[in-house]
Amino acid sequence: MATTIEDIQYDEMISELHFDAVMKNEAQKQCIYIFVEGDSEEFVFQPLLEMCGVNFETDGVVVANYNGIGNLKHAIRLLRKTLSHDRPIIVTFDDDPAGKRVSKAINDPLISTFKIPLNPVVTYKNGEQGGSFEECFTANCFIESSFKQGAIDSIALGKESKFRKTFDPRTPWVSQLTRFIQSEGGNPSSLNKIEIAENMMSSCSPIPDTFEELANLVRKLRTMNPIKHPDDVEIKI
């Protein structure tokens, strides 16, 4: 039975589909890890970076939460003992005193450190400048996102204008908000940072420079470490 053009086209289509499936699988195997400091970052980094043009599936990008700067050294130590540590890793950290201290101790050619936010926003009690995840966004975005249902204690919910009168964008924002909630008779632990993060992600315009630059770093690392087909093996003679 003769082979028709339709048969050839069908075989080519199957071959292309198989190739695409293999490469998607390899993208995950050869992933670029983005280590993030907490739950808020884990929740919103992917959508924010996708807004900046990063395709997590085809680019092979995975967000991993190391649950606080105190755990970062241990997370890296464990990673170095696994087969996974043959690929690039981006370690993000809050640019606060603790983050500055720990990040300086990282010395690994496969690890790129990236401070959050990109540029200093607030000044800490020790005089150091920097910030944390919330300070990647504008002060107005942070405040509007905080005074929404589910983000803070309901007792402080309708007092946004009062908070604005005392708010100082040059000092850490979250600590100001928790003190304000307490001063109004609310529970400071009611602060839902994940809810605030989602609100900021949904309403920010434009995307903060921090995430644009992080997306650029992801693309740079992927260009330097392209995804290889499993059959792409160099044979040494």
Q: What is the per-residue pLDDT across 192-235, written as a single tens digit (0 to 9) for each?
A: 999 999 999 999 999 999 999 999 999 999 999 888 755 544 54
**Mean pLDDT within 33-47:** 96
**Is the pLDDT at 5 greater than 90, yes or no?**
no
Cα torsion 169, 38, 86, 110 to 10°: value is 20
**Mean pLDDT within 1-26:** 47
Strand partners, 90: 34, 112
Q: How does pLDDT run across 150-177, given as a tens digit for each residue?
A: 999 999 999 999 999 999 999 999 999 9
Identity at 150, one-letter amino acid code? G
pLDDT for position 135: 98
Identity at 28, one-letter amino acid code? Q
Predicted confidence band of residue 1 (pLDDT cuts 50, 70, 90): low
CA–CA distances in Å: residue 167 to residues 23, 39, 87, 98, 142? 50, 25, 43, 24, 11
**Is the pLDDT at 18 greater than 80, yes or no?**
no
pLDDT for position 27: 44
Q: Cα–Cα distance between 95 and 136 in angstroms, integer?
A: 11
CA nearest to 231, candidates 28, 23, 27, 9: 23
pLDDT for position 30: 67
**Is the pLDDT at 187 greater than 60, yes or no?**
yes
Stated length of the chain:
237
pLDDT for position 9: 52
pLDDT for position 237: 54
pLDDT for position 19: 37
Strand partners, 34: 63, 90
Q: Which helix (H) or strand (E) holds 161?
A: helix 160-166
pLDDT mean across residues, the chain: 86
Token pair of 199 as six digits: 């609100």
Where residue 67 falls (left for φ over 0; alpha for ψ -120 to 50; beta otherwise) is: left
Q: How does pLDDT run across 104-145, given as a tens digit for each residue?
A: 889 888 899 999 999 999 999 999 999 999 999 999 999 999
Token pair of 139 as six digits: 């002060």
Asked whether the beta carbons of 32 and 218 are under 8 A apart, the reply is: yes
pLDDT for position 126: 95
